[in-house]
């Protein structure tokens, strides 16, 4: 099994939107990650980065109010389909698309993988349609509102550690808090070892190491429980943690076409 790490441009934002109450108004540029896992039984995407429309007209697609605090920079070549093509993967080769959650910088590629089963939490999809006011601008209905797709909706703790191929190599871990249906992906890589992709459950290693909340947070108490669960995975099983938007930690990783086995 191989893990490929990609970056769909950057978002220019403010530090306090990443770490709640810390770095008020400070400029902060973060990477927009997405991941491909090549398993003998399928090609799995974890998140899809920004929509292609963001490269063409970001104000129209995300809205001027979002751009003010969350300004994406990407071009057509950064789009998930283009970057997969660069390593010889066609959109029809993708068998599974698993979303950490449906925020605008994660669900932008929804619908562009015709043979894929799409995985999200039922609570996440429901919330994306009717978010609270403080999360309303972070969900773009044009991205995720595609009911004709082959959606597989997971039900929280009941489906915790959902085993994608039944061999324990790729498991979906329920880690709510940042949004109602945030989830992480646990990989058993042979050489690199157990690795957890947290999505935005943990934005940065600062959040993992210190008692600080992500700047955008649906449920603080759920977030704290999820972070404790992730800390336990790191401590007890030596799991490597790849956080959602950490510009400092990010430079440690080799991007595709390099991969980890």
Q: Which residues bind Zn ion (CB under 5 A)?
A: 103, 200
Instruction: Give the three-class secondary structure for 72.
Output: strand
CB 201 within 8 A of CB 226: yes
Residue 58 vs 103, nearer CB to Zn ion: 103
Q: How far apart are the first and last CA of the chain?
A: 6
CB 122 within 8 A of CB 155: yes
CB of 178 to Zn ion, least distance (A): 6
In angstroms, the CA 172 to CA 59 distance is 33
240: which strand partners?
Answer: 195
Residue 111 vs 244, nearer CB to Zn ion: 244
For 103, residues 6+ apart whose C-beta sits below 8 A from its C-beta are 138, 139, 179, 200
Residue 200 vs 206, nearer CB to Zn ion: 200
CB of 206 to Zn ion, least distance (A): 16
CB of 162 to Zn ion, least distance (A): 20
Residue 2 vs 15, nearer CB to Zn ion: 15
Neighbour-count burial of 37, counting CB atoms closer than 10 A to its CB (0-12 exposed, 13-18 middle, 19+ buried): buried
Phi-psi region of 29 (alpha: psi -120 to 50; beta: other; left: phi over 0): beta
Residue 169 vs 214, nearer CB to Zn ion: 214
């Amino acid at each position: 099994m191989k893990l490929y790490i990609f970056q769909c441009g950057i978002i220019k934002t403010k530090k306090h939107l990443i770490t709640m109450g810390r770095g008020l108004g400070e400029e902060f540029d973060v990477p927009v990650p997405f991941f491909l896992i090549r398993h003998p039984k399928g090609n799995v995407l974890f998140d899809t980065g920004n929509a292609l429309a963001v490269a063409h007209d970001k104000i129209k697609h995300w809205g001027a109010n979002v751009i003010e605090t969350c300004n994406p920079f990407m071009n057509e070549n950064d789009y998930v389909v283009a970057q997969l093509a660069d390593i010889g993967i066609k959109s029809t080769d993708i068998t599974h698309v698993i979303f950490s959650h449906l925020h605008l910088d994660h669900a932008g590629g929804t619908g562009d993988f015709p043979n894929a089963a799409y995985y999200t939490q039922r609570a996440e999809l429901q919330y994306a349609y009717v978010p609270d006011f403080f999360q309303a601008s972070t969900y773009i209905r044009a991205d995720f509102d595609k009911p004709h797709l082959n959606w597989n909706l997971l039900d929280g703790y009941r489906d915790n550690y959902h085993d994608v191929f039944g061999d324990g190599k790729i498991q979906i871990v329920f880690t709510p808090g940042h949004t109602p249906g945030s989830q992480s992906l646990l990989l058993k890589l042979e050489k690199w070892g157990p690795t957890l992709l947290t999505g935005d459950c943990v934005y940065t290693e600062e959040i993992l190491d210190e008692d600080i909340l992500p700047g955008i947070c649906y449920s603080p108490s759920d977030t704290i429980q999820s972070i404790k669960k992730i800390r336990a995975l790191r401590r007890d099983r030596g799991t490597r943690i790849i956080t959602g938007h950490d510009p400092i930690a990010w430079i440690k990783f080799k991007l595709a076409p390099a991969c980890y086995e």
